[in-house]
Amino acid sequence: MNEFENFFNLSTDPMTIADANGKIVHANSVYTAITGWSVDELKATSYWDLIHPDDHAKARTALQTVKAGHPVFALEYRFLCKDGSYKTFIANLSGNKKSEHLYAISRLKEGQVVPYIMVANAAPVAVMIIDTNGAIIHANQLAESMFGYEAGELQGKSIEELIPARLRKKHKIHRGEYQSNPVNRPMGSQYNLKGLKKNGMEIRVDIALNPLHEQNELYVACSILDITEKITTAELALNLERENLRLAQLAQRDPLTQAYNRRTMEELFPKIAEECKRQNRSVSTIMLDVDNFKIFNDSYGHQTGDQLLKELAYIAQNHIRENDILVRYGGEEFFIIMPNCTPRQASEVAERIRSSLEKDMTSGHKITASLGISTYSFSSDLESADEVLEKLIEQSDQALYQAKNKGRNRVQHFSSI
């Protein structure tokens, strides 16, 4: 602490240093005089022991912002003094990534905006201070440079001038909403923010907001990062990922119905089985077959039959969960795998699909389907995933055969055969 000793001792503001977990490492004499604790007593504890419990949530939010590399202005918190009373401090916080120390320059609640301007000038990021009308009352050098303005040129401008014209009305609304409930808002809460440089270039920005209260007036300190390069890189990576996903889906899915193909089913099922086994959950499957599909094809042609299968797959997909797997098993047969699904739940889903196919087809052709269900409970380690899948397919197929024998257009669970 030698490099800070003189600074600490000469300051008229109460100051503390803490580690990344909030344990107090050092405090100056002003802080000890106000709180009544000695330096050694403070070093033996942490902020979390002395900050009022009702203020822990906003203190943790501030800590997250500092850990992300941004200063926090005007964090208001109540601190437990040695005499048992609480004093309200307003602190400016910053961090040192190398040492992972947290630096707090505090004052008792009465204060002025001027100190924050001094802090803004020393801050390692772009900082602006805005009044309730949206006027910029101060911008540090980094903020001026970020938006391409000369020294002092931003002062007095409306913050909306730094927003693309098409977004200014919406920003003004958001600013009014924030002023009605001004709280510390950390970085990373909204990545889709855009700024406008003096030369007309748009940049992507991330902003942390810190409310400052001065003589019943509200000011907002804005800490700003230019994340254009970060977002551009992320978007390129996302586009590449989407393209890879598209190519993978072409290999994984049936081109007619967009249901998974059998090869993909065999690749995915071991992961499904492993997860169900780990959670001690059951897996259910449904084998679905269109009734009298050959007669339909012979009557209306294969092209109409293909359209019917596409609509069938669409209806079935809408009745299953996001993590369920719809597979085109072959021809007019579809196979559905439903992790964490009981026999009753599987029967309900199958019945909804059957009913929708009977009533909701938009092609103008009336069709029905029969559905066979099987359920497997992972209570034994003896069977492999391949064996489990084979058993589910066989039992679902047997249940489907039984449904056909009982008159078609019905749901049958293997356990009821």
Parallel, antiparallel or unpaired: strands 15-18 and 86-96: unpaired
**Nearest Cα residue to 313 out of 290, 285, 292, 293:** 290
In whole angstroms, give the CA distance from residue 345 to residue 386.
24
In whole angstroms, give the CA distance from residue 368 to residue 408.
8
The count of other CB atoms within 10 Å of the CB of residue 77 is: 22
CB crowding 275-302: b at 16 or more within 10 Å, else e: ebbeeeebbbbbbbbbbebeebbeeeee
In whole angstroms, give the CA distance from residue 204 to residue 350.
48
Distance of CA 397 to the CA centre of its chain: 41
> Which residues are marked as active site?
332
Helix and strand numbers, DSSP H then E, in the chain: 14, 15
Element holding 137 (H helix, E strand): strand 136-139
In whole angstroms, give the CA distance from residue 177 to residue 183.
11
| Beta carbons of 135 and 156 less than 8 angstroms apart | yes
Using left for φ > 0, alpha for ψ between -120 and 50, and beta otherwise, residue 278 falls in: alpha
In whole angstroms, give the CA distance from residue 332 to residue 357.
13
Residues paired with residue 373 on neighbouring β-strands, in sequence order:
286, 413
In whole angstroms, give the CA distance from residue 306 to residue 302.
6
Residues paired with residue 103 on neighbouring β-strands, in sequence order:
17, 94
**Strand-by-strand arrangement of the 72-80 sheet:** 24-27, 15-18, 101-108, 86-96, 72-80
Residue-wise DSSP of 55-96:
GHHHHHHHHHHHHTT--EEEEEEEEE-TTS-EEEEEEEEEEE
Parallel, antiparallel or unpaired: strands 411-413 and 369-377: parallel
| Beta carbons of 79 and 50 less than 8 angstroms apart | yes
